[in-house]
Amino acid sequence: MSRPELQAPPEIYYGDSEAIKYTNNTRIQQIQAEMTYRALELLNLPPDEPAFLLDIGCGSGLSGEILDEEGYLWTGVDIAPSMLEVALEREVEGDLFLQDIGQGFGFRPGSFDGAISPRPSSISVIQWLLNAETSHPTSSPPHRLTRFFTALHSALRNPSRAVLQFYPTSDDQVQLITSIAQKAGFGGGVVVDYPNSNKARKVYLCLFVGGGGAAQVPQGLDGEAAEEAGARAKFEKRRQREVRKERSGKKKAAKGKEWILKKKDLYRRRGKEDVPRDSKYTGRKRKTVF
């Protein structure tokens, strides 16, 4: 089967039906959880301290829910409107932004204490940047990667880390990505978990802003590590809690004004027409008429 990035741009590939299918796939949920826990481990954040994280390619908020449970505040960016709409429907806690990361970010310098991008499917956000959609120079992979890494470096505080999982197709891709990241000011390098396993092998780009160099790049996992088993156990407990909630038949809380305003803003950015204007009555509970 052809790789997703060769089939269509991400905002088209992840349409309405694909976004729902992706989000509801239990296998994807499990892998997403394991990779998010691993990304947090590689971030090496100070224990028991609050942190504000950037989730790059946040999709429908699967990784964001893990960040919530681990006690972090987060903001997510994604280029696929359908994925963000599913995230809104699921009422994730993070702030969501529709953004092409190949054009950079609009965040203030030093806004985030770290960044992650753990993606469970066969494509990562970095690899979408490796495919030019037009012949214009600004659409070339080196240009888009440069814009992304430069903006990411600026958005992170000093010192901090970014952990980006990806699926390289060749050593040349790894060299291109790491060299551009270094030119943008990052230190760090590539971490490979389970390098001798075709199924379990995972590749992470662990980048540093200040406070260290390539010698401090973490070691990859090897064999059936306790960390992976622990991540699976956490996911299973989380899934069991969700099943119990569904069986209990508890009604979800009514969607408030903030949720409604976020969804209307997303619709406007998607170009939808006839979105009702905001007013003092937006989200106000209607009186029951007998």
Residue 50 lies in a domain: yes
Higher pLDDT, 216 or 64: 64
Estimate to the nearest angstrom the gap between the alpha carbon of 91 and the chain centroid: 16
Query: Could you tell me the CA-to-CA distances from 18 to 21, 61, 84, 182 in Å, in that order?
Result: 5, 15, 12, 35
Read off the pLDDT band of 279 (50, 70, 90).
Answer: confident
Q: Beta partners for 112? A: 156
92 φ, ψ (degrees, to nearest 5) = -70, 160
In a domain, 198, yes or no: yes
Higher pLDDT, 119 or 26: 26
Does some domain include residue 19? yes
pLDDT digits (tens, 9 = 90+) for 185-197: 999 999 999 999 8
| Domain membership flag for residue 228 | yes
Q: Is residue 274 part of a domain?
A: no
Q: What is the CATH number of the domain that holds 187?
A: 3.40.50.150
Residue 227, domain member (yes or no) = yes
Count how many residues are written for the chain: 290
State which residues form the domain around 20. Answer: 4-252
**Gap between the Cα atoms of 111 and 25, Å rounded:** 33
> To the nearest 10°, the Cα dihedral for 181, 185, 186, 190?
40
Asked whether residue 260 is assigned to any structural domain, the reply reads no
**Portion of the chain with pLDDT greater than 90, in percent:** 50
Q: 224 and 58 in contact (C-beta within 8 Å)?
A: no
pLDDT tens readout for residues 32-42 = 999 999 999 99
- Provide the domain count of the chain: 1
**Spatial distance between the Cα atoms of 229 and 33, rounded to a whole number of angstroms:** 12
Look over the chain and give the mean of its residue pLDDT values, rounded to a whole number.
83
Residue 37 lies in a domain: yes
